[in-house]
Each structure stands twice: as structure tokens, then as C-alpha cells.
């Protein structure tokens, strides 16, 4: 079934359903997520949605939404010939993880974790609230 959005729709409004715009990828993600949940369905249900997999699902959906909005802003900037500011970037030291393992961003079994000194454990660097 094809869903047509009007030409004048605000692409950053709640009227845009991102799971339909990326329907194939969304279905693949949700089916893979269900496979992971099946590995410990009882534990997942018992954790009352605070299971790490539920937190990962929330983060993935937030990333999808943020990516869409960033793409809309980039397309708008490109069409007007202007730029746009990105007030926060992923920490180049830890790659956004907020931790280092034996001073490396790659997690290795047995390595000692430590808070990233580049971002103080936030995973991002820059000045929030600008832009």
C-alpha cells in the first residue's frame, strides 16, 4: 500500500511516520530485535521494560528520528545554499561510548573500563544548546 505525503508537509512534524518511510529496514530491525528478545524472553518481560534490550530499542528509535531530522535540516540548508551548525559531535576519543578500555575505544574482553577523559563519560563533545 502506497502512502502519499502532500508536497507541503512539514517533514519535521509528527505527521511523518518514519517506520513507514523506511518500512523494509524497520521490519528487518524489529524482526532482529524479536530474535534477540527470544533469547531471554522471560527475563525481558520480568524487567518491566528496563531490560538492556528495551533500552537499546529506545536508543535505536531515537537515533532513527534524530537522523531523519538531521537529514531534513541538511537538505534544507543545501537547497538554500546555507550551512547549519552541529553543536555536539561524537567524542573522537571514545567514539561516543563514554568509556575507554585500557585507553582504547575498542572493547576487549578483560580490558579495564575507565571513563573517557575526552568527554567525561558523556560520549559527546561541543556546546549543547547552540544552534
All structural domains of the chain with their residue ranges = 13-84, 85-131
Please tell me the total number of residues recorded for the chain in this structure. Answer: 131
Is residue 100's pLDDT more than 90?
yes
Q: Can you tell me the distance from the alpha carbon of 40 to that of 47, in angstroms, rounded to the nearest whole number?
A: 11
Is residue 75's pLDDT more than 60?
yes
- What would the mean pLDDT of 106-114 be, rounded to a whole number? 85
Indicate the pTM of the whole model: 0.67
Question: Can you give the pLDDT at residue 88?
Answer: 82
**Are the CB atoms for 126 and 88 separated by under 8 Å?**
yes
pLDDT band at 89 (very low <50, low <70, confident <90, very high): confident
Is residue 129's pLDDT more than 60?
no
Q: Give me the chain's average pLDDT, please.
A: 80
Q: Can you tell me the distance from the alpha carbon of 60 to that of 65, in angstroms, rounded to the nearest whole number?
A: 9
What is the sign of the dihedral through the CA atoms of 121, 112, 94 and 69? negative
Question: Can you give the pLDDT at residue 114?
Answer: 94
Amino acid at each position: 500500500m502506497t502512502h502519499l505525503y502532500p508536497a507541503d508537509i512539514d517533514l519535521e512534524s509528527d505527521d511523518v511516520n518514519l517506520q513507514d518511510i523506511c518500512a523494509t529496514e524497520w521490519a528487518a530491525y524489529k524482526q532482529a530485535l524479536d530474535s534477540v528478545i527470544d533469547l531471554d524472553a522471560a527475563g525481558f518481560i520480568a524487567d518491566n521494560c528496563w531490560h538492556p534490550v528495551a533500552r537499546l530499542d529506545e536508543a535505536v528509535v531515537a537515533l532513527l528520528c534524530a537522523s531523519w531530522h538531521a537529514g531534513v535540516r541538511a537538505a534544507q540548508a543545501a537547497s538554500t545554499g546555507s550551512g547549519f551548525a552541529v553543536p555536539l559531535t561524537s567524542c573522537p576519543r571514545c567514539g561516543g561510548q563514554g568509556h575507554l578500555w585500557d585507553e582504547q575505544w575498542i572493547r576487549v574482553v578483560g580490558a579495564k573500563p575507565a571513563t573517557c577523559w575526552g568527554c567525561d563519560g558523556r560520549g559527546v563533545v561541543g556546546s549543547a544548546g547552540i544552534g
